[in-house]
Amino acid sequence: MDAMTALYSRRSIRLYTPKQVPSNVVSDILRAAMCAPSAGNERPWHFLVLTNRMLLDEIPKIHPYAAMLKQANTAILVCGDSTLEKYKGYWPLDCAAATQNLLIAAHAKGLGAVWCGVYPSDDRVVNLKKLLNLPENIVPFSLIPLGFPDEVKEALERFDNSRVHENHW
Ligand SMILES: Cc1cc2nc3c(=O)[nH]c(=O)nc-3n(C[C@H](O)[C@H](O)[C@H](O)COP(=O)(O)O)c2cc1C
C-alpha cells in the first residue's frame, strides 16, 4: 500500500478477529513508529507491547473508551520518557507523531487499530502507571489496540477547503 492510499483510507478499527497479531508485524510497526520526526531528534519514546490477556482485560476498567481491548490480543502503549527530553514541552508532540506513524503502519500491514487517548487525562495516566508498574519518569501517552479487522470502514473524504488559507488569512 502506498503512503497516500494508506493516509486516505485509514480509519479507527475497534472490532478484531481472534487471529494472533504476528510478532514480526508488531516489530515492523514499531520500526515505523520510531521513524517519526521529533524535536531536536530527541526520540523521547518507549513502546510497551501488551499481550497478556489479564492486563488487556484490566485496562477497560480504568479507561472509559477502551472496551475494544477485551477483544484485542495485542496493544501498544506509547510512552514518553522525561529523562530523554531535550526541549521542554515537546515530548507529547513527538509521541503523537510516533502514534500516527504506528496507526498508518498498522493499516498498511492489514491490521486494524485505534488511538485510545491517555495523556493528558490525569486519572488514565496515574492508573496505567500503577497497573503496568511504569517507572516515575515514564508517562503513558496513547494506547493502540491492534488486531485483524472484523469490521469494514469506508474511506471518508475530509478535505475542507474552508480550512485552507493562502498567505494572508
Ligand atoms: C487524541 C485522540 C484520542 C482518542 N481517544 C479515543 C479513545 O479513547 N477511544 C476510542 O475508541 N477512540 C479514540 N480516538 C479515535 C477517534 O475517535 C477517531 O480517530 C475519530 O472519531 C475519527 O475517526 P477515524 O479514526 O475512523 O478517522 C482518539 C483519537 C485521538 C486522535
**CB of 8 closer than 6 angstroms to any ligand 1 atom:** no
pLDDT, position 50? 98
The three cell numbers of residue 115 are 488511538
Residue ranges with strand state E in the chain? 45-50, 74-81, 112-113, 116-117, 138-147
Q: Where are the alpha helices (DSSP H) in 16-157?
A: 23-33, 53-62, 91-108, 122-132
82 Cα to the center of ligand 1, angstroms: 25
115 Cα to the center of ligand 1, angstroms: 5
Which residue from 11, 69, 104, 116 has its CB within 8 A of the most atoms of ligand 1, so it is best to mutate? 116
What residues does 147 pair with on adjacent strands?
112
pLDDT, position 127? 98
Percentage of the chain with pLDDT > 70? Answer: 100
Q: What is the pLDDT of residues 10-28, one digit of tens each?
A: 999 999 999 999 999 999 9
**CB of 103 closer than 6 angstroms to any ligand 1 atom:** no
**Mean local confidence (pLDDT), 113-121:** 98
